[in-house]
A = this chain, B = another copy of it.
Protein backbone atom coordinates (compact mmCIF):
# COMPACT_ATOMS: atom_id res chain seq x y z
CA UNK A 1 0.00 0.00 0.00
CA UNK A 2 2.52 2.53 -1.05
CA UNK A 3 3.53 5.01 -3.66
CA UNK A 4 2.98 4.51 -7.35
CA UNK A 5 5.09 2.17 -9.33
CA UNK A 6 4.70 2.37 -13.05
CA UNK A 7 2.43 2.76 -16.01
CA UNK A 8 -0.71 1.23 -14.61
CA UNK A 9 -3.85 2.72 -16.11
CA UNK A 10 -4.92 5.76 -14.19
CA UNK A 11 -7.89 5.22 -11.92
CA UNK A 12 -9.21 8.76 -12.06
CA UNK A 13 -8.57 11.05 -14.94
CA UNK A 14 -10.29 14.33 -14.30
CA UNK A 15 -7.28 16.60 -14.34
CA UNK A 16 -7.04 18.90 -17.32
CA UNK A 17 -3.67 18.89 -18.99
CA UNK A 18 -1.97 22.21 -18.31
CA UNK A 19 -2.01 24.41 -21.38
CA UNK A 20 1.41 25.35 -22.59
CA UNK A 21 0.79 29.09 -22.42
CA UNK A 22 -0.12 29.11 -18.74
CA UNK A 23 1.83 31.65 -16.72
CA UNK A 24 3.53 28.87 -14.85
CA UNK A 25 6.43 28.75 -12.48
CA UNK A 26 8.76 25.76 -12.52
CA UNK A 27 11.22 24.61 -9.86
CA UNK A 28 13.84 21.87 -10.27
CA UNK A 29 14.40 19.33 -7.52
CA UNK A 30 16.51 16.18 -7.29
CA UNK A 31 15.56 12.77 -5.84
CA UNK A 32 17.87 11.57 -3.04
CA UNK A 33 17.98 8.37 -0.98
CA UNK A 34 15.89 10.09 1.72
CA UNK A 35 12.99 10.47 -0.75
CA UNK A 36 12.79 6.84 -1.82
CA UNK A 37 11.28 3.76 -0.23
CA UNK A 38 11.93 0.05 -0.32
CA UNK A 39 9.97 -0.25 -3.55
CA UNK A 40 12.82 1.54 -5.28
CA UNK A 41 10.74 4.63 -6.08
CA UNK A 42 9.86 7.93 -4.39
CA UNK A 43 7.64 7.44 -1.32
CA UNK A 44 4.22 8.83 -2.29
CA UNK A 45 3.93 11.32 0.57
CA UNK A 46 7.25 12.86 -0.43
CA UNK A 47 5.74 14.23 -3.66
CA UNK A 48 3.69 16.55 -1.42
CA UNK A 49 6.91 17.93 -0.01
CA UNK A 50 8.23 18.45 -3.56
CA UNK A 51 5.02 20.35 -4.40
CA UNK A 52 5.40 22.49 -1.29
CA UNK A 53 9.03 23.34 -2.15
CA UNK A 54 7.85 24.68 -5.50
CA UNK A 55 5.04 26.75 -3.98
CA UNK A 56 7.54 28.22 -1.52
CA UNK A 57 9.99 29.11 -4.31
CA UNK A 58 7.15 30.54 -6.41
CA UNK A 59 6.31 32.96 -3.60
CA UNK A 60 10.00 33.66 -2.95
CA UNK A 61 10.53 34.43 -6.64
CA UNK A 62 7.82 37.09 -6.33
CA UNK A 63 9.55 38.57 -3.32
CA UNK A 64 7.05 37.08 -0.90
CA UNK A 65 9.14 35.08 1.51
CA UNK A 66 6.84 33.32 3.93
CA UNK A 67 8.75 34.56 6.95
CA UNK A 68 8.17 38.12 5.72
CA UNK A 69 4.46 37.47 5.08
CA UNK A 70 4.10 36.08 8.56
CA UNK A 71 5.89 38.88 10.35
CA UNK A 72 4.84 41.93 8.39
CA UNK A 73 1.39 40.91 7.20
CA UNK A 74 0.26 38.40 9.86
CA UNK A 75 -0.36 35.98 6.98
CA UNK A 76 0.30 32.28 6.57
CA UNK A 77 -0.90 30.00 3.83
CA UNK A 78 -2.07 26.52 4.83
CA UNK A 79 -3.06 23.57 2.64
CA UNK A 80 -6.74 22.76 3.24
CA UNK A 81 -7.32 20.06 0.66
CA UNK A 82 -5.70 18.31 -2.27
CA UNK A 83 -6.49 16.05 -5.16
CA UNK A 84 -3.42 14.22 -6.38
CA UNK A 85 -2.78 11.69 -9.15
CA UNK A 86 0.36 9.60 -8.96
CA UNK A 87 0.73 8.56 -12.60
CA UNK A 88 4.29 7.34 -12.87
CA UNK A 89 6.97 6.92 -10.24
CA UNK A 90 10.13 8.96 -9.84
CA UNK A 91 13.34 7.18 -8.92
CA UNK A 92 16.66 7.81 -7.18
CA UNK A 93 18.78 10.49 -8.90
CA UNK A 94 15.89 11.72 -11.06
CA UNK A 95 15.95 15.42 -11.91
CA UNK A 96 12.37 16.64 -11.55
CA UNK A 97 10.54 19.82 -12.55
CA UNK A 98 7.70 20.94 -10.29
CA UNK A 99 5.27 23.47 -11.74
CA UNK A 100 2.98 26.00 -10.07
CA UNK A 101 0.01 27.68 -11.77
CA UNK A 102 -2.49 29.80 -9.84
CA UNK A 103 -5.87 28.73 -11.13
CA UNK A 104 -7.93 30.95 -8.88
CA UNK A 105 -7.34 33.64 -6.28
CA UNK A 106 -10.18 34.39 -3.89
CA UNK A 107 -10.24 36.80 -0.96
CA UNK A 108 -9.00 34.24 1.55
CA UNK A 109 -7.94 31.23 -0.49
CA UNK A 110 -6.06 30.02 -3.55
CA UNK A 111 -6.53 27.10 -5.91
CA UNK A 112 -3.20 26.00 -7.37
CA UNK A 113 -2.55 23.49 -10.14
CA UNK A 114 0.74 21.66 -9.93
CA UNK A 115 2.59 18.99 -11.84
CA UNK A 116 5.80 17.02 -11.42
CA UNK A 117 7.66 16.14 -14.60
CA UNK A 118 10.81 14.23 -15.53
CA UNK A 119 12.22 14.96 -18.97
CA UNK A 120 8.90 16.44 -20.01
CA UNK A 121 6.93 13.39 -18.91
CA UNK A 122 4.16 14.05 -16.39
CA UNK A 123 4.52 11.94 -13.26
CA UNK A 124 2.17 13.69 -10.82
CA UNK A 125 -0.80 16.07 -11.06
CA UNK A 126 -2.16 17.93 -8.06
CA UNK A 127 -4.86 20.45 -7.30
CA UNK A 128 -4.06 22.22 -4.06
CA UNK A 129 -6.46 24.41 -2.09
CA UNK A 130 -4.72 26.81 0.20
CA UNK A 131 -6.29 29.05 2.86
CA UNK A 132 -5.01 32.41 4.02
CA UNK A 133 -4.82 32.44 7.80
CA UNK A 134 -3.87 34.96 10.41
CA UNK A 135 -0.49 33.84 11.72
CA UNK A 136 -1.42 34.96 15.21
CA UNK A 137 -4.94 33.59 15.50
CA UNK A 138 -4.77 30.78 12.94
CA UNK A 139 -8.13 31.90 11.57
CA UNK A 140 -9.15 32.65 7.97
CA UNK A 141 -8.38 36.17 6.91
CA UNK A 142 -8.41 38.16 3.69
CA UNK A 143 -5.21 38.26 1.67
CA UNK A 144 -3.82 41.81 2.17
CA UNK A 145 -4.57 44.14 -0.69
CA UNK A 146 -1.34 44.58 -2.64
CA UNK A 147 -0.61 40.85 -2.55
CA UNK A 148 -4.21 40.02 -3.49
CA UNK A 149 -4.02 42.23 -6.58
CA UNK A 150 -0.71 40.73 -7.61
CA UNK A 151 -1.94 37.17 -7.19
CA UNK A 152 -5.23 38.00 -8.93
CA UNK A 153 -3.28 39.10 -11.99
CA UNK A 154 -1.60 35.68 -12.14
CA UNK A 155 -4.82 33.67 -12.39
CA UNK A 156 -4.79 31.17 -15.22
CA UNK A 157 -8.57 31.06 -15.42
CA UNK A 158 -11.31 33.63 -15.53
CA UNK A 159 -14.30 32.65 -13.56
Q: Quick check: is A37 within 8 A (CB to CB) of the other chain?
A: yes
Partner of A80, one of B46, B66, B85: B85
List B contacts of A78 (CB < 8 A).
1-5, 8, 39, 86
Give the number of times this chain occurs in the complex, counting copies: 4
| Contact, CB under 8 Å: A45 / B49 | yes
| Contact, CB under 8 Å: A52 / B1 | yes
Q: Interface with B: A16-24, A115-123, A132-140, A146-154, which one? A: A132-140
| Contact, CB under 8 Å: B55 / A138 | no
List B contacts of A38 (CB < 8 A).
33, 36-41, 91-92
| Contact, CB under 8 Å: A79 / B9 | no
| Contact, CB under 8 Å: B67 / A53 | no
Of all chain B residues, which has the CB nearest A34?
Answer: B49
Q: Quick check: is A107 within 8 A (CB to CB) of the other chain?
A: no
| Contact, CB under 8 Å: A92 / B76 | no
List B contacts of A142 (CB < 8 A).
none
A39 to B36, CA, bound (A): 9
| Contact, CB under 8 Å: A1 / B129 | no
